[in-house]
Structure 1
Amino acid sequence: VFAINTGYPLPDDTNAVIMIENVVEKEGKIEINKAVYPWQNVRKVGEDIVATELILPPNHRITPYDIGALLEGGIFEVEVKEKPKVIIIPTGNEVVPIEIAQDRGIEKGQVIESNSWMLSSLLNTTNAICEKWPVVPDEFRQLKTTIQKAVESDAHLVIILAGSSAGSKDYTVLALEKLGEVLVHGVTIMPGKPTILAKVNNKPVIGNPGYPVSSVISFEQFVLPILSQMQGFVYEERPKLKVFLSCPVPSKLGIEEFLRVKLGQVGKNIVATPMPRVAGSITTLTKAHGIIRIPAQREGIEEDEQVEAELLVPQAEIFNTIVIIGSHDLTIDLLTSELKKIDPFLNISSSNVGSLSGLMAIKKGRAHLAGTHLFDPETGIYNLTYIDKYLPEIPVKVVNLVIRHQGLIVPKGNPKKIKSIEDLTRSDVLFVNRQRGAGTRILLDYKLKQLNINSSQIKGYDCEEISHMAVAVDVLSGRADVGLGIYAAAKALNLDFIPIAVEEYDLVVPETLWETKKIQTILQLINSHKFKQAVEKMGGYETSKTGMVKR
């Protein structure tokens, strides 16, 4: 009998190991409490790796476990594939590098160069090496020279940012035609249609669209497959979930659309709410939970149709999401922020589709909450009449979120001296409206009826935005002279405000969800002194009824 430690070789003429806990030593003698059979508790030579045995095949991505296996097998060096090197070349006269923007700010018509930073971060997840080059202005010769220098370097792939469309200063395709072969100019995806695929000096060159969402979609669809081929492995696909859209979504026939959506579980179903379909809005990706691909051979998706969504966030986040659909209000953003502070695992997914659409979402089981401020001119009551009309068979609770001030939003100083609704009929005044079904639109129509004004007399009545902030931005940018919206939106952008009405903005909750943790957490937050203080600080709000259950 010999004493031995784990990992030591067996002494000669021995063939089993007895665990120390099964051995008792008494007065210099050893007592064995448990028998063993030959070679028990012994790791035999060659049990793991034997000489000439294949440890890893070619084109295998080495994992942390593989490193252990290689070292155990006495392999201290292996030949690996070179990491792909990617050069990113931003272009555009209007594009300002981040260091200059930080130092001097930007002027009207300029944009901060952000796409190269975004794509380089994506490249960092692919095992590639990224090199960002300085911004190249919209000048043909300089762009051509820069591309030539890039393809003559040790880079394996070159990405040119912007200039891939068909504008008068979009020189990318012309430069690539001079230097090499343009394989494709324009692809049947949306966003990302202006993508260029070219070959120069036998190296792939990608013309990446300038709009940020187009840039990302193009990168994922064309750059990632090339890098995958270079490295010999397939990137892990995003997990997918079966979802139902909260509304029908039309789409262009012949183009595959990548629809960004917010997701949340309502009842037994995962509900997908479409986000604005603008390629220039990066927040439609930062706030999205998933992407639904609408095939090129289809003209859209029906409301009750089940489809697959590719997840951009962990699945657990979707199950912990509170879905709010309905009218837009800035306090919903505040609610979202404050909720994260008290419960980091809960999220809010809000979609601005108007008060009536919010009530219909409750009716169809597509939302936990609906934001609404629908004024009934016959009774002078907010929301309750419409709830009785549209949700007669669905028991709901109605909770006041805020009382808010609606009015005309005009530029600072009110250069056109707009004073009332009647001024909207002036020929020199351009108005911006809210979408059909929005409570603000209903309020405007009520005021017009009171004053016997036909909507056709208002220039811009048919120009619609889906939020108060979008209306305020239109006024700030000069796209409109005036819009109807809340005071908080005017204050946020330092615009002037002419009061028109005080209204009640309520949250509608199905009774079946009232006692759930999600809803009770929201109610607790709404009733807190801290939340009410933050609301009042925004301006244009009253909280005297905040948290009051009206029904």
Structure 2
Amino acid sequence: SGLKYEEYVRVKLGIVEGELIASPLDRGAGASMSLVRADGFCVIPQNREGIAAHETVSVELVRDMEQIGKTLVLIGSHDLILDVINDRMMEETKDMCLSSTHVGSLSGLIALKKKEAHLAPTHLLDEKDGSYNRTITQEMFPDEKMVIIKGVRRRQGWIVKPGNPLSIGNISDITPEVRYINRQRGAGTRVLFDYLLKKEGIPTKNIRGYEHEAATHMSVAVAVQKDNADVGMGIYSCARALGLDFIDVTFEEYDFVTYASYLELPFVQEFLKILRSDAFKAKLEALGGYSCEETGDLIYL
């Protein structure tokens, strides 16, 4: 936050293990939908640069606590399907909803470990065997009964301008002359990109824009669309939504990690019901770039 003005930040709220968790929503003039989604406003006083994660704050509520108590809190990796699930949840239950904060897969698992979220969306690659999500979950929660809720398989690759004017085909085509837009540290997409660089022996200093980070796949696509970058790694559905070209790199597994005990929560049960529904699968088909062979399956660890 700037020091000059008092700022009102729109937040989404949810209750995890008896604690009220506030997650900031999109800010700025173009983020009108965050006004509709907000449960309240957190005030950042004048002469403060911001509020640290995990700090206790006061929130002016615009929704009652009964509604807030029915909010499923997700912190972790971003995907367009989270908005689809939230829409379905609100349509079918009228009072349950989903709050998602996009901080990357690893930070999401850390938030889950701190009991700040009910679910952590994640797609972290194990370089040793090519599997997703199981190894990191076992390492981070060695003494807990955990569950991986299988999500979707999704097309991950290079998002480029229409016609692919720079002829990007693989990572070796991202030369120092090409402007790249990266993802934040801890994001599964960043882990995959770093793995590909390492595999090809390409130093990060050769990637122009390696330090330029975006918080979501859609932000990567927007950067390419607005000519702030030539290429970025992201998911097919975001490229398609903005009319951009896409070059496949891999199909990855986008899942949801949670505690086994949380499966009994009513909004987690509703989440599972939606994941397994034909209506959700039909929406995936419309978005493009997804497959759902295991969607809604449970893997106990």
Distance 2:13 2:207 in 1: 38
Distance change in 2, residues 1:278/1:455 (3 Å): farther
- Per mean C-alpha deviation after superposition, the further-off stretch among 520-529 and 287-296 is 287-296
Shift of residue 426 of structure 1?
4.2
Write the mapping of 1:352-501 to structure 2, written as runs, cut at 5 A: 352-427=102-177, 429-501=178-250
Write the mapping of 1:150-189 to structure 2, written as runs, cut at 5 A: none
Secondary structure at the counterpart of residue 264 of structure 2: coil
1:213-236 Cα deviation digits (max 9, x unpaired):
xxxxxxxxxxxxxxxxxxxxxxxx
Q: Which runs of 5+ in 1 are unaligned?
A: 1-250
Distance change in 2, residues 1:496/1:332 (3 Å): same
Distance 1:328 1:413 in 2: 26
Distance 1:483 1:409 in 2: 5
CA RMSD of superposed structures (Å): 1.7
Shift of residue 513 of structure 1?
1.2
Which residue number in structure 1 is paired with residue 274 of structure 2?
Answer: 525
Secondary structure at the counterpart of residue 379 of structure 1: coil
Shift of residue 390 of structure 1?
2.0
Given that 1:359 and 1:391 are in contact with CA atoms closer than 8 Å, whether structure 2 keeps it comes out as no
Given that 1:399 and 1:508 are in contact with CA atoms closer than 8 Å, whether structure 2 keeps it comes out as yes
Amino acid at match of 1:467: T
Identity of aligned residues (%): 44
Distance change in 2, residues 1:482/1:518 (3 Å): same
Q: Choose which of 324, 342, 346 in structure 1 pairs with 2:74.
A: 324
Q: Choose which of 43, 47, 66 in structure 2 pairs with 1:293.
A: 43
- Per mean C-alpha deviation after superposition, the further-off stretch among 405-414 and 273-282 is 273-282
Distance 1:304 1:437 in 2: 18
Secondary structure at the counterpart of residue 376 of structure 1: coil
Distance 1:283 1:392 in 2: 39
Secondary structure at the counterpart of residue 480 of structure 1: coil
Distance 1:359 1:337 in 2: 24
Q: Please give the TM-score of this superposition, normalised by the length of structure 1.
A: 0.52
Shift of residue 258 of structure 1?
1.9
Give the structure with higher Rg (CA). 1
Amino acid at match of 1:335: I
- Per mean C-alpha deviation after superposition, the further-off stretch among 409-418 and 369-378 is 409-418
Write the mapping of 1:56-75 to structure 2, written as runs, cut at 5 A: none
Given that 1:261 and 1:292 are in contact with CA atoms closer than 8 Å, whether structure 2 keeps it comes out as yes
Which residue number in structure 2 is paired with residue 545 of structure 1?
Answer: 294
Given that 1:536 and 1:543 are in contact with CA atoms closer than 8 Å, whether structure 2 keeps it comes out as no
Shift of residue 277 of structure 1?
4.2
Q: Choose which of 44, 62, 65 in structure 2 pairs with 1:312.
A: 62
Given that 1:325 and 1:351 are in contact with CA atoms closer than 8 Å, whether structure 2 keeps it comes out as yes
Which residue number in structure 2 is paired with residue 510 of structure 1?
Answer: 259
1:238-281 Cα deviation digits (max 9, x unpaired):
xxxxxxxxxxxxx5556433222111111211100123444553
Which residue number in structure 1 is paired with residue 8 of structure 2?
Answer: 258
Distance 1:303 1:477 in 2: 31
Greater relative CO (CA pairs within 8 A, separation 6+): 2
Shift of residue 397 of structure 1?
0.9
Structure 1 residue 344 corresponds to structure 2 residue 65:
no
Given that 1:320 and 1:345 are in contact with CA atoms closer than 8 Å, whether structure 2 keeps it comes out as yes
Amino acid at match of 2:127: P
Secondary structure at the counterpart of residue 252 of structure 2: strand
Amino acid at match of 1:498: I
1:144-182 Cα deviation digits (max 9, x unpaired):
xxxxxxxxxxxxxxxxxxxxxxxxxxxxxxxxxxxxxxx
1:293-331 Cα deviation digits (max 9, x unpaired):
122354543444322101133332211111111000111
Write the mapping of 1:33-44 to structure 2, written as runs, cut at 5 A: none
Amino acid at match of 1:262: K
